[in-house]
Structures are given as structure tokens and as C-alpha cells.
Amino acid sequence: MRRWGEARKALLLAACLLLAASAGAEPASGKRSAAAGSEYRPQAQHPSEETGAFSGAQRPKKKKPAISWVALQQRYPGAFVIGGSRRFRRVALTFDDVPDPRYTPQVLETLARYKVRATFFVVGQRAAAHPAIVRRMQREGHIIGNHSLNHPVFSRISQYAMQQQVLRTDWILRPLVGYSPRFVRPPYGEITPAQVEWLSGKGFTVVNWDVDSEDWRSIDSGAILINIKRTLQPGSIVLQHAGGGTGQDLSGTIAALPRLIKLLRSKGYAIVTLPELLGRPAARRLP
């Protein structure tokens, strides 16, 4: 029975790898099935919806959002968050764009050394390519979040394509971590009100941040710490990266992390996970 269970897991992971090779999009006919808004079902590929690609330090040019993050948090309380309660000196460290064999293991080693648990936002294609790192994150007590299948700008793709980005990643992550991750972080923090509404209806919580380390710029550890201290406050969610794109150098993040942990503790902050900060479980309830 044990051998059969292992064989089933291997087959499921192989299927994940095949699915991750082509991101989900709306069928070319433009007709959505009745299940378009339900849980993931494999769909035909439509290249026009495929905009996900890591571009190193080059980020998409930002347009002025139709609605600010503060307004989104007020309009969708509990469904869209950028921070926790300001009453307690607690901070959540979050790391995007994982797993990356160059940087993620180094971040995990530092967190283990200082007995800190963090939240990692996982890219589906990377999880399928490096499942052992995802399992390690979960095994060492960290929280797993959904960071899309291949990192497109959600606000620039269709509602259907966004749904497929999230659901395909969810389908990859479930067998690796043992649950369906509740927390979703849109790449670059870009998201529309309609997308927040759909995600909330499916039991997801959208989590952005209120402290940006700007480590994605490949800056040194000193600059990273300055950026974090600039907007740090009780209840902050700190954005860092444990995975990079082509040409991106996150050595500054690795060097800054021990100093950041010591700094936070010296100022009386407890370093917590997102479930602890926000008071909700890591797993969503499946429909």
C-alpha cells in the first residue's frame, strides 16, 4: 500500500510538471465553460494570455491604479490586506518568487538558525520544477502562499486567465504541502476589484504588504535595512524575495536577513507568520 501511495504521488507530480509547462488561459473560441469560475480543470492554451515571465530587476511600468491598496482594504475588509493590527508589536516576514535553488535554501537556513517562521509565496511553475524545496519549507514550519503560475501582471490579463493562474498553482501546491493555501499575493501587487471579489468568493485572502524592502533591485544589505525601517510599524507585512529572475542578485537579501531579525527583536517585535498576524488559518476551506 505504501509503495502504491508513493507511485500515486509521483504520477500526480508528473502531471503538475506537464500542466505547469503551459499556463492556463481562456479557450481560443472565447467561450467559457460553466466551470470557468469553479475549481481548476485543464484548458486549452491560448498564447495571447501568456504574459508571465521573470525579468530580473526590470519591472513592468506602473500605471496609476484605478483604486489604491488602502481603498481596497477598506472596501474588502478581510479579503484584501496590507497589514495586521497596529495594536501589537508583531511583524510578518514574507518572501516572494520561490522556490529558487540559488537563494531559497539560504533563506531557510538563516530562518532555522534564528528560529523564525515566515510566509513564502510560491510560483506554480517553480514549485513543479523544485518540489523538494517546497516540501522543505512546509516541513520546517513555514506558511505557503499562492503567487500565480508564471508571474503575470493580474491587472493586465483577463478574469478567466487570472483564475487559471491561481487554480493551477493551487492544484500543484496541494499535494506538496497538504492543504490549499488561503493566501494569494498577486505578482507586483497588481490586482483589480473584480479579481479580489472572485478570490474572496473562493475562500482566498489577497495579501500585499506595507513594507517594501526593494531587494528586487539587487541592492546591498544596508540599503535593504534602510528601506524596511522607513515604513516599519506594528502589524507590518514585510516584502522580501527568496527567488529571483534572470540577472537578479539577491545576495543583499541573504546578508540582510540575520541583521533584520536581530533589529526587529531588539525593538521588541515578535516575528510571526501571516496566520498569526491576521488571525486566520493558512488553509482555505475547499468548495
The residues assigned a catalytic role are: 96, 241
Residues 25/50, Cβ–Cβ less than 8 Å: yes
DSSP state of 63: P
Residues 91/232, Cβ–Cβ less than 8 Å: yes
Dist CA 33 CA 272 (whole Å) = 41
Query: How many angstroms separate the first and last alpha carbons of the chain?
Result: 29
Provide φ and ψ at 11, rounded to 5°: -65, -40
Cell matching residue 208: 500585499
Cell matching residue 165: 493562474
Residues 114/261, Cβ–Cβ less than 8 Å: yes
Residues 80/201, Cβ–Cβ less than 8 Å: no
Q: Which residue from 281, 258, 254 is spatially nearest to 104, judged by alpha carbons? A: 254
Residues 287/170, Cβ–Cβ less than 8 Å: no
- Partnered with residue 145 across adjacent β-strands are 121
Cell matching residue 233: 510599524
SS3 120: strand
